[in-house]
Structure 1
Amino acid sequence: MKQFHGAFTAIVTPFIDGQVDEQGFVDLIEYQIKSGIHGLVPCGTTGESATLGFDEHKRVVELAVETVAGRVPVIAGTGANNTLEAIEFTESAKESGADAVLSVVPYYNKPSQEGIYQHFKAVAEAVDIPMFLYNVPGRTVINMLPETVARLAKIDNIIGIKEACGSLEQVSDVIRMCPKDFILLSGDDFTSMPTVFVGGKGVISVVSNMLPGPMAQMVEAALDGDIARANELHYKLFPLMKCMFACPSPAPAKQGLQLMNIIRDASPRLPITPVDEPTMAKLKAAMTQLELL
């Protein structure tokens, strides 16, 4: 499963006049691949999956797979807080030809650890496609514990996790408790480099929307054990990483892409609003430092 090692972009979904900008999305994918990204994740949190309609969600995944055309792996976001909806999205992603799916811990419902286990077990048993779990307690309220991940890792097609808990202690426990071939990807740009050094295999990144090449190079250096190079790139990207969450994501990433003339419209969908003036100032300063403006 080494195809799932490296830097994967949690790719934004561009909109024009409130509708999905399909050509803008295609152009963004081409930019990502040309820049050397290792893989793409459409319809994740950064892709505004929570505010995409059912048909839009399925179409964005389909368009991503069509455009990528096998050049890099596509991990389709298919999570939902309704198990039947998660199964439906996962079935659709498989039909579209996605290489794997990313399924988030059910948000808002506040399930128990047993409920989380049964949810993912039901999805995995319903659709035969490689699945990454997605733990992001800052958004879902519930933290999926390493013991639960280890139980789920015994299910054949659950091959890894996007771990966005922000804790290297928890990351280490997941790696320690799960099989050797279980793939842990960082869900936070900030922790991606140290996560690799404790045994992770890469990152699903927000900042790589803007700088896919340097993010891919940083993860490659870390995976190769080149600490000096990985550190250099980590600190080079760090101010821009901080900007990505200076106000609710993905507004800063979209604004940055528009400033780079890679997408035409930075508008997110409500309830996410465009970046405020202080964030815009920070973003422009970080981009100027990186010679992006």
Structure 2
Amino acid sequence: MELQHALSGITCPVVTPFDDAGAIDDDAFVDVLEYLLEGGIDGLFPCGTTGEFASLTREERRHVHDLAAEHAGGEVPVLAGAAATSVAEAVTYTEDAADVGADAAVVTPPYFHTANDPAGNQQFLEQVADRSPLPLVLYNIPVCTGGRMEPETLAAVATHDNIVGLKDSSGDLEYFLSVMRQTPDDFCMLQGYDALLVPALRMGADGGLNALSNVAPEAYGDLYETFDERCGEALQDAIAPLFDACASYGFAPATKAALEHRGVIPTDALRPPLVEVPEDNRPAIASAVDGLLESGP
């Protein structure tokens, strides 16, 4: 598939279901994949933030990517999470993902260091891209990496033959538009902050990579396919309460609680340090899910 074209739509950062003992629940993961594909999702992103990649071993990441690639069957692209703190480790994750049939890899700047110079970020991303067997989608999430990728850095690396786009989860629309202005037209710009999806599409974003598309893939897919101001604003309003829950409790906890309410996964179990949404707050999430579903097609 032609990757840039394939990424134009809504890609889902897929949750990683666990059983009550903390092991990956393969059957539940396959159920989520089938539910997303039937709901019209345009791409799958396993082992992202919502997929709790930081709590998975290398072998578990490879396994999750293998399941996703197998069930995508080439119908939609699979973007494999390859975030790491060293070039060598990130490249290893891209190699594992290529071995199981993923279409691209997603990398962040190296986290933990938190005071990365823009030149250091550029060197890191270019060195991973030079050695990756898969094209790269970059991932700007400064709340987790300690700083953003500067627009000038992205403008520089966007000309690399093996770097094809950006997921921006900064929540800063001005930043998103600045990067869009400074990168080539074929550099795929994906809005990762659900609350800014509609404004970003209005301003020319290629698509979204949104956690809450786990919960209502039909609504997100319909929004992209038939985008207009009125329907977009209605969905954005419906997203807001659930997005607020994600901001309060974390994207994996809130999204899993919502999926459990929908009956898609049997339990919202997480791995430490994440914890489940408190029981007293679950009715609000259930209400927000119901409101989001009512806004859909």
Q: Please indicate the TM-score interval, normalised by the length of the shorter structure.
A: over 0.9
User: Matched residue of 1:71: which SS?
Assistant: coil
Residue aligning to 1:174: 179
Q: 1:115, CA displacement in angstroms?
A: 1.1
CA RMSD between the two structures: 1.4
Identity between Structure 1 and Structure 2 (%): 35
Provide the TM-score with structure 2 as the length reference.
0.94
Q: 1:245 to 1:92 in 2, by over 3 A?
A: same
Give the Å deviation of 1:290.
Answer: 4.3
- Which residue in the other structure is 2:239 paired with? 237
Q: Distance in 1 between matches of 2:250 and 2:238?
A: 22
User: 2:121 aligned with 1:119, yes or no?
Assistant: no
**Matched residue SS, 1:279:** helix
* Whole-Å separation in 2 of the counterparts to 1:199 and 1:45: 25
Aligned position for 1:8: 11
Name the SS for the 1:134 alignment partner: strand
> Which residue in the other structure is 1:59 paired with?
63
In the other structure, the counterpart of 1:205 is 210
Structure 1 unaligned residues grouped into runs of 5+ = none
Q: Give, in angstroms, the shift of residue 291 of structure 1.
A: 5.9
Q: Deviations over 1:98-157 (max 9, x none)?
A: 111111121111221111111111111002322110000011111111000001101011
Unaligned runs of 5+ in 2: none
Residues 1:103 and 2:107 are matched in the alignment: yes
Query: Which residue of structure 2 aligns with residue 156 of structure 1?
Result: 161
Q: Compute the displacement of 1:81 (Å).
A: 1.3
Aligned AA (2:125) = F
2:64 alignment partner AA: V
Letter paired with 1:107: Y
Per-residue deviation, residues 175-226 of structure 1 (Å, max 9, x unmatched): 100001111101111111111122211111111111011011122333xxx2
Match of 1:30 in 2: 34
Q: What SS class does the counterpart of residue 249 from structure 2 fall into?
A: coil
Q: CA offset at residue 258 of structure 1? A: 1.2
AA aligned opposite 2:170: C
* Alignment correspondent of 1:46: 50
Partner in structure 1 of residue 250 of structure 2 = 248
Letter in 2 for 1:151: A
Q: What is the 5 A alignment of 1:274-293?
A: 274-290=276-292
Amino acid at match of 1:256: A
Aligned partner of 1:79 in structure 2 is: 83
Q: Which residue of 2 aligns with 1:264?
A: 266
Q: Indicate yes or no: 2:71 matched with 1:70.
A: no
**What's the CA shift string for 1:217-258, capped at 9, x where partnerless?**
122333xxx222222222223222222222122011111111
Partner SS state of residue 271, structure 2: coil
Query: What is the letter of the counterpart of residue 9 of structure 1?
Result: C
- Check conservation: 2:94, 2:133, Cα contact below 8 A: no
User: In the alignment, residue 61 of structure 1 is paired with which amino acid?
Assistant: H
Mapping of residues 83-94 of structure 1, within 5 Å: 83-94=87-98
Secondary structure of 1:180's aligned partner: coil
